[in-house]
Amino acid sequence: MIKIHPTAIVDPKAIIGENCSIGPYCIIRENVVLGDRNELVSNVLIDGHTTIGNGNKFFHSAVIGTDSQDLKYNGEPTQLIIGNGNTFREFCTVNKSATMDEPTRLGDNSLLMAYSHIAHNCILGNNLIIANAVNLAGHIHIHDNVIIGGMVALHQFVKVGTYAFIGGKSGIKKDIPPYTRGEGFPYKVMGLNSVGLKRRGFSSEAINSIKDIYKLFYRSGLNTSQAMEKALLIPNLTKEQNVFLDFVKKSERGISK
């Protein structure tokens, strides 16, 4: 059963799944595909070529799938793809991509708090917490299980590694390695997200292996290239160590220091 408030406007070409609830003054445009069990509380706008999975909740005045704010965008039918079980709080905005080759994407089970903004061509993983008034510029890649504190601004093309913790009011211009925590403007890596890793069930052995790699890059006095050369000589690298090293290898902006 689909519940649609009489003040809502749903284009007849939009595809609406089972057991959705569309509240007062919501607007769903023609190219939207909405999965099952989604709830739009009130005044929500879903626009563009937007495909949404199941069990998401959109609070008052969330604006989803609108045009990219990139001035190079010329009105092409670009995309936004959203997974399952996400929560979009009040006045959250998520733009569709600026280019045809790379949709804006958001995975599953994330919380995007009030006034957060996800720009064009961003790729967001699963189980994220993005706090109030966080601003993501275009082409940002956030890996799984990341927490971002309030009023953080991230420069375009920045990547944030899995299980990173970013303190509030930070300004980020370079990539943030997995498992680390930091804050500041400019942003500085302060240590490992040890508390978060323990809460997520990482063993002491796994955390210690991450510490060994972290010390090479942040406590040894070596530059990034030198630390990488030394790290690759370690026998029997653990899964966590390989995740860290793979992220650094693929970093294009350089890692935060």
Q: Report percent pLDDT > 70 for the chain.
A: 100
Euclidean distance between the first and the last CA atom of the chain, given in angstroms as a whole number:
53
How confident is the model over 195-233, as pLDDT tens digits?
A: 999 999 999 999 999 999 999 999 999 999 999 999 999
Dihedral pair phi/psi, residue 163, rounded to 5°: 65, 20
Q: Note the pLDDT of residue 207.
A: 98
**197-250 in CATH: which number?**
1.20.1180.10
Picking from 125, 126, 116, the residue whose alpha carbon sits closest to that of residue 95 is 116
Residues 87-135: tens digit of each pLDDT: 999 999 999 999 999 999 999 999 999 999 999 999 999 999 999 999 9
SS3 for 99? coil
Residue 105 φ/ψ, nearest 5 degrees: -135, 140
Question: Alpha carbon of 135 to those of 1, 115, 172, 219: distances in Å?
Answer: 36, 9, 11, 31
Instruction: Tell me the residue length of the chain.
Output: 257
CATH H superfamily, domain 3-139 = Hexapeptide repeat proteins (2.160.10.10)
Task: Tell me the domain boundaries of the chain.
Answer: 3-139, 197-250
- pTM, rounded to two decimals: 0.97
C-alpha angle 111-44-77 in degrees, rounded to nearest 5:
90
